[in-house]
Chains A and B, each alone.
Chain A
Amino acid sequence: MTVITGKINEIIKPENLVYAKSPLLNDVSMHYCPGCSHGVVHRLIAEVIDEMGIQEQTIGVSPVGCAVFAYNYIDIDWQEAAHGRAPAVATGIKRVMPEKYVFSYQGDGDLAAIGTAETFHAVNRGENIVMIFINNAIYGMTGGQMAPTTLVGQVTSTTPNGRNVDLNGYPLRITELIAQLPGAAFVTRQSVQTPAAVRKTKKAIRKAFEIQAQKKGTSFVEVVSTCSSGWKLSPVASNKWMEENMFPQYPLGDLKDTGRADPDLYKVKG
């Protein structure tokens, strides 16, 4: 619509709306801390489900960790899994309802520590599910303890002098390992700290859901994220810290985009 004066009350009209909260986001405040990446990723998932028109066909699996209450925010059916078991729960749902869209949503402790086995084997089976992985290098929910993805030297409540490799081992680049699995169809690492990054992440999530419809294997979307409470930085400073410290260790981009492997490559000869 074209107006003459451009006064605020002429602009704020339904016909001029360019962005509003997704109708699939429930009318409740998210419990996340200010600036938390979870809120953005939740919104992107809601928008993708809404835009694909698959609300009635989608079941989400929430983890144990900060995102345990994800089921309060996106208006679809949900199951809340035990710590680390979301990929197994998602497998159970998908196997008995293969026509539905199923996704798991997990943090670094859930997916890359306690649930490593479930994560690997779900992907290795090429389960036709979407796995969303929030990596903020810390345990947020329990108060800022070391995660498998915590960087060397990073201070957490259980590494008060910084993560020490001799004591705590190395940061786990689980997404690189996931990309090696023949069952993985699409593996990508994204972030949500800038408008451009958010748009790329949304595209990746949309693609992951589309691959599920095509039954090409597991789609795995890591989102390198911030935890300003855990990192003890402001949200803006957290984004800067993430860019400077996380991105070199967890470089962004697609790691695999080929669909699951040809089974014949793995077949016995006789």
Chain B
Amino acid sequence: MGELRLMKGNEVIAEAAIRCGCDGYFGYPITPQSEVMETLMTLRPWETTGMVVLQAESEIASIHMVYGAAGAGKRVMTSSSSPGISLMAEGISYIAGSELPCVIVNVQRGGPGLGTIQPSQADYNQATKGGGHGDYSLLVLAPASVQEMHDFVILGFELAFKFRNPVMILADGVIGQLMEKVELIDQRPRWTNEQILEISGNWATIGKPSSRKKHVITSLEMDSNMMENNNLRLQAKYTQMKDEEVRYEAIACEDADYIVVAFGSAARICQKTVQIARKKGIKVGLIRPITLFPFPEKIIAEYAAKVKGFLSVEFNAGQMVNDIRLAVNGVTKVEYFGRMGGIVPTPDEVEDALEQRFLIGDL
């Protein structure tokens, strides 16, 4: 068993990064995730593991520093919150287009614009539909606990290198600020130059020996046929993600008449909603997508034939609900309930919404 600690979600991102052998973090302060860089600066990993930590002049610079360092085959990451992620959209598109591995943490706050510093899930579409220009997808992990904040940093790097694709950890202000018990992994070494050569030696820009051709990290291709091929290669990768990397948690769904679908901190609230509803004799289950891209559409489609309806519960105006509707494909009713502006609904509020949408007519 690893070391147990009581930690904040944001702090554990930093701790997990150091412990899994991350090579570099480039970031810019923004509420509610500034503790990530603050924790790193306090822990001074450059003196222990050799991990680089740099406060950039902007989120734009941070993400392009990640681009440069990821291009060197290193395990690097950044973190930000919604407005900062919008600034990074350019760089994320370039990273996806150049097929570089990295981890990007978004501890979401309410928008649009400067919005609020309170928690939100309003960047679901931005995260799962690309967010920047061009046809690309991030692999999106949605943690619902401090433990998952820890685990997904490690998993994030594994997946990023498996697919040579940016991975986003889409958290929110609740998970970022929440303190919980977490089991930490033991310190792992950073990759040696030899390991990097073995893992990424066929593409990383680490200096060109005369024995090989030069490596060029670029998303540019002027030949339309070649560019279409590049796009097809990316799409094949996203298909492979859909085949191999879908993750979700299904709670009390076997006998359910209604299934609530929620991710991140909304799923924690809905877990309580399930209990409240069941006490009232309403058979409610919960599906918690852990990967938002690839979306767990198969399991939702399977339950669509069995249940009377799905309720998508989100801290936004209804974004994931569209993906559920696509998966359900008209087989059963799909409704949405959510709050915006940084308001976190109570389990009773959600239960009430479920009754309003599905049961009023039945009574």
Asked whether A78 lies within 8 Å of B216 as measured between CB atoms, the reply is: yes
Chain A residues with CB below 8 A from B99, complex form: none
State A174–B344 Cα separation when bound (angstroms). 48
From A57, A77, A80, B214 is in contact (CB under 8 Å) with: A77
Q: List 22 A-B contacts (CB under 8 A).
A: A59-B205, A59-B207, A61-B68, A71-B216, A78-B214, A78-B215, A78-B218, A79-B67, A79-B205, A79-B216, A82-B91, A85-B61, A85-B64, A88-B61, A91-B61, A92-B69, A93-B68, A93-B69, A95-B69, A96-B23, A96-B72, A118-B60
A198 contacts chain B at the CB level, 8 A cutoff: no
The A interface, classified by DSSP as helix, strand, loop or mixed, is helix
**Roughly how many angstroms separate A117 CA and B60 CA in the complex, as a whole number?**
10
Interface size on A, residues (CB 8 A): 32
Give the number of residues in B that approach A within 8 Å (Cβ atoms).
39
Q: Is B235 among interface residues, defined by CB-CB distance under 8 A?
A: no
Which B residues are closer than 8 A to A by beta carbons? 23-24, 26, 52, 54, 56-58, 60-62, 64-72, 74, 76, 90-91, 94, 98, 205-210, 214-220
3 tightest A-B contacts by CB? A92-B68, A92-B65, A80-B218
* In the complex, chain A residues whose CB is within 8 Å of the CB of B90: 82
Nearest CB on A from B256, distance (A)? 47
State whether A81 touches B67 (Cβ < 8 A). yes
A residues near B210, Cβ cutoff 8 Å: 55-56
Is A97 on the interface with B (CB-CB < 8 A)? yes
Question: Is A58 an interface residue when CB atoms closer than 8 A count as contact?
Answer: yes
Docked-complex contact B205 and A77, CB < 8 angstroms: yes
Would you call B205 and A78 a contact (CB within 8 A)?
A: yes
Assess whether A207 is interfacial by the CB under 8 Å rule.
no
Q: Of the candidates A80, A88, A120, which one forms a contact with B56 in the assembled complex, judged by CB atoms under 8 Å apart? A: A88
**Residues of B contacting A76 with CB < 8 Å?**
207-208, 214
Given contacts A78-B205, A79-B217, A80-B217, contact A118 B64 (CB under 8 A): yes
Bound CA span A82–B98, Å: 11
Judge whether B64 and A78 touch: CB under 8 Å: no
Q: Considering only CB atoms, which chain A residue lies closest to B215 in the complex? A: A77
CB proximity of A71 to chain B, nearest CB, Å: 5
Q: Which of A57, A81, A92 contacts B76 (CB 8 A)?
A: A92
**How close is B225's CB to chain A, nearest CB, in angstroms?**
18
The 8 Å CB contact of B209, one of A56, A79, A95, A121, is A56
A75, A92, A95, A120: which contacts B208 (Cβ < 8 A)? Answer: A75
A95-123: CB near B (< 8 Å → 1, else 0) gives: 11100100000000000000001101100
Interface centre among B62, B205, B208, B216 (most CB of A within 10 A): B205
Closest-by-CB residue of A relative to B203 is: A77
